[in-house]
Amino acid sequence: MPLLQITDLHASADEKEILKGISLTVNAGEVHAIMGPNGSGKSTLAQVLAGHPAYDVTSGTATLEGEDLLDMEAEERAWAGVFLAFQYPVEIPGVTNAYFLRMAFNEIRKARGLDELDPMDFLDILEEKLRVVQWGPEIMERAVNFGFSGGEKKRNEILQMAVLEPKLAILDETDSGLDIDALRIVSDGVNALRRPDRAIILVTHYQRLLDFIVPDFVHVLAGGKIVKSGGKELALELEAKGYEWLTGVAEGAAV
Amino acid sequence: MTTVAPIAPTEQPGVAAFAALAAHAEGPEWLMARRAAAAAHFAEVGVPSSRNEEWRFTPVSGIATTAWTAPGVSPAVSAEEVAALRLSEGPLAVLIDGRFAPDLSALPAEIGAKSLQAAIDSGDAVVRQYLGTVAPPEMTPFSALSLATFTDGVVLHIAANTTLDAPLEIMHLTTSAADGALVAPRVLVTAGQNARGAVVEQFVSLADTLHFSNAVTELVLGEESWVEHIRVQREGERAWHIGFTHADQARASHYRGFALSLGAKLCRHNIHARLGGEQVETLMYGLYLTRNEQLADTHSAIFHDQPNSNSWEVYKGVLADKSRAVFNGKVFVQPIAQKTDAKQTNRNLLLSDTARVDTKPQLEIFADDVKCTHGATVGRLNDEQRYYLQTRGIGGRTAQELLIWAFAAEVLTEVTVSRIRAGIETIVRVRLDEMLG
């Protein structure tokens, strides 16, 4: 059974159809890149999978290990093993990173019938996870994403992914707004989290990220549909030719 | 258009009852003179109507239409009952239905605290100097009523160059004997030059009575003194609560107020500070939590009378059900008060469609070289924050609680005495839990 199976997924926001029939199979251990021009629906796909209430799924299915993902609330998807690294991580003043991460960790454990960890035991786990993003413990006393630089916010998303250990991680434009050093730290973090029992979907506009995190498959999304799929060499082709030759295909296919 | 003639104050049944209570008030000659003047002033102005701009959103006519009595004989209150309600461990003054309870209090002689009645009886010159003059009776109708009718209270003098080791806790408790009664305690705190100390006042109903608490606290801060004043109002939800806190600050003094309001059917708190010298610092923090049909009203007034002083005010509110809140923040900057730095913030979080907030900054600035800012918001829980938490496995009520807590925490962390802060956090957590149902 594939980890994630998306079949003919249609979704809209404010009654405007954005996803127009997406089908995608992702197996455990694989890294898929979803590329495409602005407005192609890449971020919408990420948000629909995570359960954003602003999007209506009008038809199609999405299952995680055979379970209907679309029937679950966003938190239930997290309990089931879905993680979305946000393009724009949300600031939560008044809640420390340490408190937030431990609460998230324990809520997921509780949902899976496991014991909650007390702050001391959690600290041991945290220390190890902080190394994934090359951070010291001082970041944990700051309010969640509050006053963080763009790079710090993205690192914090990867730290959360490391702590929450999802089966399916969706990284939405994680490379946007990062300088080369931050991109390297974030990519090293993601690579350290690649595992045979975990799949990763990278949503990105640029090929640059794929120099650091090498995908197994590349899909091009245009006009709400996957217009081309291939191996990692497809990303290089896109880098050389741009998206126009494919978006042309998309328009032709829609006729 | 028809107009309705305002009811003359003397026609208010409550006013006659208050006059009867005032007639029973006692004290030495100097006090009786002040009481008489205050009673005369109150008889003239009466209980304010909603036509009075200061009371526009806060209907208190129910106070005027009730013939309040004096509290009856209070039932015994055990030391254990009091201990369970305390927020600190140090010196303690207990008032039961507005009367000092020596057996329940613990006021070591060296801390300079005693009952107001005892201080008056002993001819305390400081009390004579300040009682009813820091918060003069004409400031609000109810401060006049307080001076005319107060029964007892607490006095604390922190001597110059001394530090109060532990906060003084003042417990204003009401019992079943307060039903239908006016409970009128007064507190006077004076801090000498370079003195330091903290006072925590709690207002708690031991029985769910319909009573009227009219409480006044006067604080006199000498030069370079530091006073933290914490006020926790958690009376029963049938009570009327009118509170007036006034701090007079001399040069380089530091006043730090924190007010939590979650009790009473209607609570009105006037908190005033007069910055009467340079290098004064005034911090006012507050949190109100309302539910059902409660109303919580805060009227603050900060008087910048001298240059080079700062005031910083943050009040937050969380409202559920059909409850209401009123916030009015006045800042007066006199022409001489150049280089004033004043900032005022009021933020409200509505948990229901039927809750309502009336918030109004009122800055009156007569100096030209000042920095004065204000901001007020009324909003709901942020959907994007909720969604973000959900994607991390924190859903439903847990996410709501976390976000409300985060909202409130900003002011709670400003209580500097950690033991008291922890106690207040527990009170707030319990109430928020109840509010979410």
Q: Which tens digits make up the pLDDT trace of A154-194?
A: 999 999 999 999 999 999 999 988 999 999 999 999 999 99
> How does residue A249 score in pLDDT terms, banded at 50, 70 and 90?
low
**Rounded distance between C-alpha atoms, residue B54 and residue A176, angstroms:** 53
Partners of A75 on chain B (C-beta within 8 Å) are: 389-391, 393-396, 399
User: Considering just the CA atoms, what is the radius of gyration of chain B in Å?
Assistant: 21
B407 touches chain A (CB under 8 A): yes
The stretch B95-104 carries a mean pLDDT of: 98
The stretch B246-269 carries a mean pLDDT of: 98
pLDDT per residue as tens digits for the range B357-390: 999 999 999 999 999 999 999 999 999 999 999 9
Q: How far is A75 from chain B (nearest CA, A)?
A: 4
Provide the domain limits for residue B92. Answer: 9-381
B10 touches chain A (CB under 8 A): no
CB-nearest to A73 from B392, B395, B402 is B395
8 Å CB contact of B390 and A51: yes
8 Å CB contact of A104 and B402: no
Can you tell me which residue has the tokens 């809140």? B325
CB-nearest to A107 from B388, B393, B406 is B393
Q: For residue B339, tell me if it sits in a domain.
A: yes
Interface subset of B 263-282, CB within 8 angstroms of A: none
Which is it for the CA torsion A133, A135, A138, A142, positive or negative? negative
If you count residue pairs, one on A and one on B, with CB atoms under 8 Å apart, how many are there? Answer: 73
8 Å CB contact of B391 and A53: no
**Rounded distance between C-alpha atoms, residue B103 and residue B93, angstroms:** 10
Q: How many domains would you assign to chain B?
A: 1
Question: CA of A49: which chain B residue's CA is closest?
Answer: B391
Q: How far is A170 from chain B (nearest CA, A)?
A: 11
Q: How far is A78 from chain B (nearest CA, A)?
A: 5
CB-nearest to B394 from A50, A53, A104 is A104
Partners of B390 on chain A (C-beta within 8 Å) are: 51, 73-75, 78
The stretch B401-427 carries a mean pLDDT of: 95
8 Å CB contact of B407 and A84: no
Interface test with A, best of B316, B384, B389 (most A CBs within 10 A): B389
Q: What is the ipTM of this complex?
A: 0.95
> How does residue A247 score in pLDDT terms, banded at 50, 70 and 90?
confident
Burial code (b: 16+ CB inside 10 Å, e: under 16) for B217-246 equals bbbbbbbbbbbbbbbbbbbbbebbbbbbbb
8 Å CB contact of A75 and B399: yes
**What type of residue is B165?**
D
Partners of A93 on chain B (C-beta within 8 Å) are: 406, 410
User: Considering just the CA atoms, what is the radius of gyration of chain A in Å?
Assistant: 18
Position A253 pLDDT exceeds 70: no
8 Å CB contact of A94 and B410: yes
At residue B305, the pLDDT reads: 98
Phi-psi region of B250 (alpha: psi -120 to 50; beta: other; left: phi over 0): beta
pLDDT per residue as tens digits for the range B140-176: 899 999 999 999 999 999 999 999 999 999 999 999 9
CB-nearest to A74 from B387, B405, B410 is B387
The stretch B7-14 carries a mean pLDDT of: 64
**Rounded distance between C-alpha atoms, residue B346 and residue B325, angstroms:** 11
At residue B11, the pLDDT reads: 67
Phi, psi of A154 (to 5 degrees): -70, -40
Contact criterion met (CB below 8 Å) for B234 and B264: no
Question: CA of A48: which chain B residue's CA is closest?
Answer: B391
Partners of A83 on chain B (C-beta within 8 Å) are: 391
For chain B, give the percent of residues with pLDDT over 70. Answer: 97
Interface test with B, best of A92, A108, A146 (most B CBs within 10 A): A92
The stretch B227-234 carries a mean pLDDT of: 98
- More confident of the two residues B106 and B14: B106
Partners of A55 on chain B (C-beta within 8 Å) are: none
8 Å CB contact of B384 and A100: no
Element at B80 (helix H, strand E): helix B79-85
Can you tell me which residue has the tokens 């960790």? A105
DSSP string, B16-43: HHHHHHHHT----HHHHHHHHHHHHHHH
Q: How far is B249 from chain A (nearest CA, A)?
A: 32
Tell me the pairing of strands B168-174 and B196-205.
parallel
At residue B167, the pLDDT reads: 97
**Rounded distance between C-alpha atoms, residue B233 and residue B205, angstroms:** 10
The stretch A233-253 carries a mean pLDDT of: 74
Partners of B392 on chain A (C-beta within 8 Å) are: 78, 100, 104, 107, 160, 164
**pLDDT, mean over chain B:** 95
Q: For residue B226, tell me if it sits in a domain.
A: yes
At residue B113, the pLDDT reads: 96
Partners of B393 on chain A (C-beta within 8 Å) are: 75, 78-79, 104, 107-108, 111, 164
Tell me the pairing of strands A4-13 and A16-26.
antiparallel
At residue B195, the pLDDT reads: 98
8 Å CB contact of A92 and B403: yes
Tell me the pairing of strands A143-144 and A56-64.
unpaired
The stretch A222-238 carries a mean pLDDT of: 92
CB-nearest to A104 from B385, B387, B393 is B393
At residue B306, the pLDDT reads: 98
pLDDT per residue as tens digits for the range B70-93: 999 999 999 999 999 999 999 999
Position B7 pLDDT exceeds 60: no
Can you tell me which residue has the tokens 């494919």? A246
Strand order in the sheet with B310-319: B99-100, B92-96, B168-174, B196-205, B226-234, B254-261, B281-290, B310-319, B341-350, B371-379
Domains of chain A: 4-254 (3.40.50.300)
At residue A255, the pLDDT reads: 34
A81 touches chain B (CB under 8 A): no
**Rounded distance between C-alpha atoms, residue A9 and residue A60, angstroms:** 4
The stretch B177-205 carries a mean pLDDT of: 98
**Rounded distance between C-alpha atoms, residue B203 and residue A158, angstroms:** 48
> How does residue A252 score in pLDDT terms, banded at 50, 70 and 90?
very low
Partners of A160 on chain B (C-beta within 8 Å) are: 392
Q: For residue B21, tell me if it sits in a domain.
A: yes
The stretch A60-68 carries a mean pLDDT of: 97
